[in-house]
Structure 1
Amino acid sequence: MRLVTYKRSGTVGERIGALNADGQVLDLAAADPRVDWGNMPALIGGGAAMLERARVAAAKAPVAADAVLMAPIPRPPKNIFCVGKNYHEHAKEFAGSGFDGGAKDVVPPFPVVFSKPHTAIIANGEPILGELDPTGGLDYEGELAVVIGQGGRGIAKADALKHVFGYTIVNDVTARHLQKRHSQWILGKGLDTFCPMGPAILTADEVPDPAALRLTTHVNGEKRQDAPVADLIFDVPTLIEAISAAITLEPGDIIATGTPAGVGIGFNPPKFLNKGDVVRIEITGIGVLENKVA
């Protein structure tokens, strides 16, 4: 099942829906008012029983004809956890780009984790505000993102996938010159609108093995990234174990797992984004996340 957060045209309140096979939004609350808890983390916190209720509702829910998609989780419980240099080929291209700030290890020995604030989150179709980067180094990073279901601290790798509610797509938009200037990455990656997310959350029961998923990114129709999630240096269970070791994960927390090779700085000369460029990211089963640079 692909769950979405949406609003009615001309309104501001969040509603929980599901996408049918044609990509139309189904109004779950119209079929079962108990499903609409006001926001996605609340529904996720309802556990397996609430997920099953949503699935039953989706089978009979009407189409919400005036639905406007929002990000699946517009305001997660915490900043979005993001992982840097987590594909072998991207780690190499980043090290050779001159933007890595003099890091000694091409392939990191442990996960490199930073965060993006919720104010960076935008929905599929909303504009990336490129003018917020005054340095002219705007870049894209297509990524698989993990949505936490059952929370916890000290989650073992062997148990980690039991704590996954589902998967979505994130574009880890980056101002490369700011990223390099400040060393710590949040000021280069956490700008407003620099975290497009969506269009939906594909529930974990549809993904027996996240390593089997494949990610592609196109810019203005040109394929730039194409890689299986199996190429991750640190896989999804390893990331959950590492982050939860001393940080409690909560229902609705998001972990963006890193980007493969093919980002703008990987080209010579770099192919930075410009006004009017369209970034389209697709991951098996989840759908397409597409945003234009404004």
Structure 2
Amino acid sequence: MRLVTYSTNGSPLRLGILLGDDTILDPQLAYCEKLIAAGQGRAEELAQALLPSDPTAFLANGDFAVKAAGEAIEYAAGTPQTSALYNKADVTLGSPVPKPNKIICVGLNYRDHIQEMGREIPSVPLIFAKFGPAVIGPFDDVPRNAHLTQKLDYEAEFAFVIGKKGKDIPRADAFDYVAGYCAVNDITARDMQKRTLQWLQGKTLDASLPMGPCLVTKDEIEDPHNLNITLTVNGEIRQTSNTKQLVFDVPQLVEFLSHIVTLEPGDVVCTGTPGGVGEARGIFLQTGDVVRVELENVGVIENRIAE
């Protein structure tokens, strides 16, 4: 499945499922219709319990939610008159995980990026965090505050989202705890990042983590460690690589991180950026720039830099 969040006319974001390229199904609404058609009492309460409109709650429901979502898709396919279907062009897409419990980022995790920065390959993952207000939708504007930073940079990244609570997870079991994958852009204020030893202030500006366009569940990605990733600025290719360049892959990161902190449904792990960042090129983002990240088998996010 390809999970999204959507909003109509400024309404709160709700969980949706992308069907094909242009149609969004609201699984909770479709499942409720299905129960009503079957004469089920308390249909609305049951649909809300099994298929919450909040993506994190949906992930926490595990296999029960996945099964119910499949039934909602099947119902909608056989019910053309359902009110649970929307044209993607008529809604606003949000981040597939609008309010992550945790946002864990990995630095220096692509061999080509490590080389361009003149650093040594780390023996353990270098991790830092971003805060919740950094998250925005896949096509939202990214603000550039010239009073804060003159060196706003891009970082195309492959991210995975946790689907099940776990602690001290062995590497062999790691994928049991992964819900799926999405693309992110770890927008970074390099001058703020470097003015202290801690990176946080340059990494977690508000609206500095566009995410999406959807959360592709793990069953749809045969090998997450062989995905092409590309970033362009105003159509010019700045980053192009493949997730096979990762130093620490998904199972290694799940094992490592779960020994430090309990992983929970809705946690987002950003796995690092490949070579070609603006810092290495001496070129930074300016107002009006359009930054596009494309992750193979996942999709595209595209954001304009706005003053």
TM-score by length of 2: 0.88
Percentage of matched positions with identical amino acids: 44
Equivalent runs, 1:1-294 vs 2, <5 Å: 1-11=1-11, 13-33=12-32, 34=47, 36-61=51-76, 62-65=84-87, 66-78=90-102, 80-95=103-118, 106-131=120-145, 134-267=148-281, 270-294=282-306
Deviation per CA, 1:27-50, whole angstroms, max 9, x where unpaired?
222311325413101000111221
* Change in CA separation of 1:133 and 1:88 when aligned onto 2, cut-off 3 Å: farther
Measure how far apart 1:8 and its partner are: 1.8
**Structure index of larger Rg:** 2
Distance in 1 between residues matched to 2:304 and 2:60, nearest whole Å: 33
Measure how far apart 1:266 and its partner are: 1.9
Deviation per CA, 1:234-284, whole angstroms, max 9, x where unpaired?
0111011110013100011110000000111121xx110000001100111
Deviation per CA, 1:46-66, whole angstroms, max 9, x where unpaired?
112211221332344343244
Q: Indicate the larger mover: 20-29 or 245-254.
A: 20-29
Contact residue 182 and residue 188 of structure 1 kept, 8 A: no
Contact residue 278 and residue 292 of structure 1 kept, 8 A: yes
Two-structure CA RMSD over aligned residues (Å): 1.5
Distance in 2 between residues matched to 1:132 and 1:210, nearest whole Å: 37
Q: Which structure 1 residue ranges, 4+ long, deviate > 4 Å from structure 2?
A: none
Specify every segment of 5 or more residues in structure 2 that has no aligned partner in the other structure, as ranges.
Answer: 33-46, 77-83
Contact residue 183 and residue 213 of structure 2 kept, 8 A: yes
Which residue of structure 1 aligns with residue 42 of structure 2? none
- Aligned residue pairs total 281
Measure how far apart 1:5 and its partner are: 1.1
Contact residue 15 and residue 36 of structure 1 kept, 8 A: no
Distance in 2 between residues matched to 1:84 and 1:211, nearest whole Å: 17
Contact residue 51 and residue 68 of structure 2 kept, 8 A: no
Distance in 2 between residues matched to 1:193 and 1:126, nearest whole Å: 9
Which residue of structure 2 aligns with residue 102 of structure 1? none
Distance in 1 between residues matched to 2:2 and 2:147, nearest whole Å: 33
The DSSP-based 3-state class of the residue aligned with 1:225 is strand
Contact residue 157 and residue 238 of structure 1 kept, 8 A: yes
Measure how far apart 1:134 and its partner are: 2.5
Distance in 2 between residues matched to 1:132 and 1:122, nearest whole Å: 20
The DSSP-based 3-state class of the residue aligned with 2:254 is helix
Contact residue 28 and residue 52 of structure 2 kept, 8 A: no
